[in-house]
Structure 1
Amino acid sequence: MKSSQNKKRAGLLALVCAAGTVQAVEWRGLLDLRASDADASAAITSSGMSKSRYDAGSPTLSIGQAVLHGDADLTDTISASLELGADQQHRGRTVDVREAWLAWSPLPAGAWKTRVKAGFFFPPSSVEIDYDAVGWVPKHTISASAINSWIGEELRTNGVEWSARRLGRHAGAPYDVGVVLGAFTGNDPTGTLLAWRGWSITDRIGGRNDALLLPDIPSYGPTGTISRQSRTIHPFREIDGRLGYYAGANLNFGSALELAALHYDNRADPWVVKDGQYGWRTRFDHVSAVWRPQGEWELAMQAMRGDTLMGWNAVALDFQSWYLLASHPLGPGTAALRYDRFRTTEHDNLPGDPNNETGHGVALAYELPLTDSWSLMSEALFVRSDRAARVLIDEAPLQNERSLTVSLRLKW
């Protein structure tokens, strides 16, 4: 295990050094200062089963995140990227690697443009997140949807991705069409959070060395039925030596309409357990759409449906979630409204370990640019969820959570 971790660290260090030797390095950053007021019970950052990042005991003022992002052109066709992040509620290292990758983008041949990307990075599975911005933050809200909150904590590609796009303007077509294929290691524990903590609506981003503390429930306690499972989860560990994969396609009619679909399968062996981490066979299908009609409206939706399995049907559940988001300029800023639905449905052999959950959430946000570098965003969030497992930690299954968060952001 130590040898494998050392090799991974050496690879990341080599990428950093490679970027550092190039003069054309562009460094960007994000500092996100927060003021929050919430009434939830123990939040996910306090190993609880509420749905938000902040609870009634959270400090009013905090650092939401601090991010340093570097991009470098190593040659005319090879580029490198590195992103480091930190926040006050990180249980792993204080400063952690969020992304680190190399990309080869050969000169286009005709209408086709291709790219090969290798390293540690987010899969292309969100229309809510601005992939070109610093910090993998939502464009119009503070919190991410349930889908993207889960992706931010438990999903990362640690491998290779090939993508190709046929540019319509070079082929006499009114649309661009693209395909993407990815193969990766790690992500074997993916599904653990959905099963034992449930969906969340937050903006917490996991790092490569992240450590998440699960709620204190009996199933994985010293005398529980799954006692080999550690209460601390490392989402990006490789456990069984198998490669996972994803495959997707997208279709864009200029900027007016964007459609995408993705199938993901980590191919984990649910029988394997190593260093307190089980393999979870997790797979899902994902679709998304963005429509920008006249009048500066932007309407976005995402939907996900999948399943996860650990052990000999010890934990097995189906999961699904979707959201709708609308945004429009309002006065000097931009207003946004998002509605979320989420659910998990168990069908396993451990009745004493309930994993069923239903819920919905509403987020209302407003972003106000102050200068070219400073902006102010506020968000009111309401989440209602019903999770039977809360009785195991002496909480009511049905909970309503409300929070108000103000974010002062500095970007450079």
Structure 2
Amino acid sequence: MRKYLIKSLLLISLLCTSSQLLAVDANIKGLIDLRAYHVTSDDSNSYLTGDYGKFRFDDGSGIALGQLGAHLNLEFNSTWSATLVANAFANKGNSAIGITEGFVSYKSLPSSNGWRIKSKLGVFYPTLSFENVATAWSTPYTLTSSSLNNWVGEELRNTGINLSLEKLGKFSGSKHNFSGDISLFKNNDPAGAMLAWHGWTIGSRQTLLHEKLIVQDFPARQQKLAAQAAESDPFLELDDRFGLHVSANWKYANKLKFNLGYYDNFAKEGIVENGQYTWTTEFIHSALKYRFAKEWEVIAQYMKGNTYMTSPYQEKVVDNDFDNAFVMLRHFWSNHHIAARFEHFNVDDLDNIWGDNNNEQGNAFSLAYRYKLSKQSFILTEYNYIDSTRPSRWYVNQAVDKKESQYQIGYRYYFKH
């Protein structure tokens, strides 16, 4: 399946770089995000390095390339197009460049009564985020994603097909739009491993399709989980089964948007290849976006599910329930924008494996201010605070209860050609 994924992306890349030969319309848009940061985490390094810090950056100060994103779109006609999304990230000890999405799209013309069919074939994000809605799956509201969407960017990507049926209300004089989505996908069998082993985190780092993620050190890796590789490969196919993601969407004028969905990767139990296990991961999710006044808006998301992993002998080695919710309040006027985000997250460890305690509970608060310099450029500042309890920190002589904070100031430039 990995060879199929690479060949598909190469085909999309070829299509996206041969626009003159094919006589199609090509455009590229992207963003440059530069920032300075200061993290206070009691000498803990980032979860990205295999430590238990909840932020993308290590304890201390630095300068980073928050994101360099490019979204290349190739339109063959009014119904067919191809998309390739690449991202680069760079900070001390963690830098990479690569592909995050690549797919071919079809969008029919609406019928006389407003029905329209849309589809995607390739690699794409599941339809669930109301926060990461800007270029290259960035969030325009803050410098960091919520812990809920940060996990989506870290471990979830659909490789397969998406079909959507949409009813546009304007064709019948209504302000209501409805749509239903269904995706069949592969290459997501290890999804859930990092949620178990480093828990919920806040950052702005999407996993590239070729990347592997460092697994935290804990005693069970020398015993029951000795076969686990030192790095998890989130976009791997192990059981040749399709996963399923379905969602329903409702939009009312420009005031209200609502989403409800269900995700299940249907991973087969007990498969281990080169230290990579299948994780059976399922969850429900919902999202709401409501503009309740001219310059005020609220965005909320919720997720609840379970992820578990079994040994080749059908012993359930890791079994976790999880839930996450956030509410973001936005106020915008003239060139100014303020966003306040409140989060609660939880992981309940249901298994009895010694040396692998995945229990976690925490709350987070973020306050961000954005000033518009021009149509394309912005200055942003942000403060993040996380108060979490995670017993597994004891394995590396860190405090089980920890309060961490982060300050950032950044510059963003959006380009289009």
Residues 108-164 of structure 1 show CA distances to partners (whole Å, capped at 9, x for unaligned) of 22311110101111111111121xx32211121111111101001000111100011
Which aligned pairs between 1:63-142 and structure 2 lie closer than 5 A? 63-88=65-90, 94-110=96-112, 111-130=114-133, 133-142=134-143
Gaps of 5+ in 2: none
**In structure 2, what residue type is equivalent to 1:234?**
D
Give secondary structure in 2 for the equivalent of 1:31.
strand
| Equivalent residue pairs, number | 404
Partner of 2:396: 393
**In structure 2, what residue type is equivalent to 1:281?**
T
Whether the aligned pair in 1 keeps the contact of 2:283 and 2:305 (CA below 8 Å) is yes
Is 1:406 paired with 2:409? yes
Shift of the 274–268 alpha-carbon distance from structure 1 to 2, 3 Å rule, reads same
Partner of 1:190: 191
Is 1:149 paired with 2:146? no
* 1:218 to partner: Cα distance: 2.1
Give secondary structure in 2 for the equivalent of 1:88.
strand
Q: Which one has the bigger strand percentage?
A: 2
Give secondary structure in 1 for the equivalent of 2:6.
helix
| Partner Cα distance (2:236, 2:91) in 1 | 21
**In structure 2, what residue type is equivalent to 1:382?**
Y
**In structure 2, what residue type is equivalent to 1:15?**
I
Greater shift, 176-185 or 206-215, is seen at 206-215
Whether the aligned pair in 1 keeps the contact of 2:265 and 2:282 (CA below 8 Å) is yes
| Partner Cα distance (1:299, 1:356) in 2 | 30
Partner of 1:360: 363
Is 1:5 paired with 2:2? yes
| Partner Cα distance (2:78, 2:173) in 1 | 28
| Partner Cα distance (2:301, 2:76) in 1 | 35
Which aligned pairs between 1:163-182 and structure 2 lie closer than 5 A? 163-182=164-183
* 1:92 to partner: Cα distance: 9.3
Whether the aligned pair in 2 keeps the contact of 1:92 and 1:211 (CA below 8 Å) is no
| Partner Cα distance (1:387, 1:286) in 2 | 24
Partner of 1:336: 339
| Partner Cα distance (2:335, 2:176) in 1 | 33
Partner of 1:35: 36
**In structure 2, what residue type is equivalent to 1:67?**
G
State the identity %.
30
| Partner Cα distance (2:142, 2:76) in 1 | 34
* 1:313 to partner: Cα distance: 1.6
Partner of 1:206: 207
Runs of 4+ in 1 over 6 A off after TM superposition: 90-93
Residues 353-402 of structure 1 show CA distances to partners (whole Å, capped at 9, x for unaligned) of 10100001000001111122221111000000000000011111100001
Partner of 1:309: 308
* 1:93 to partner: Cα distance: 8.3
**In structure 1, what residue type is equivalent to 2:50?**
S
Gaps of 5+ in 1: none
Is 1:348 paired with 2:354? no
Whether the aligned pair in 2 keeps the contact of 1:91 and 1:212 (CA below 8 Å) is no
Whether the aligned pair in 2 keeps the contact of 1:43 and 1:50 (CA below 8 Å) is yes
* 1:194 to partner: Cα distance: 1.1
Give secondary structure in 1 for the equivalent of 2:154.
helix
* 1:39 to partner: Cα distance: 0.9
| Partner Cα distance (2:175, 2:3) in 1 | 49
Greater shift, 104-113 or 297-306, is seen at 104-113
Alignment RMSD (CA, Å): 1.6
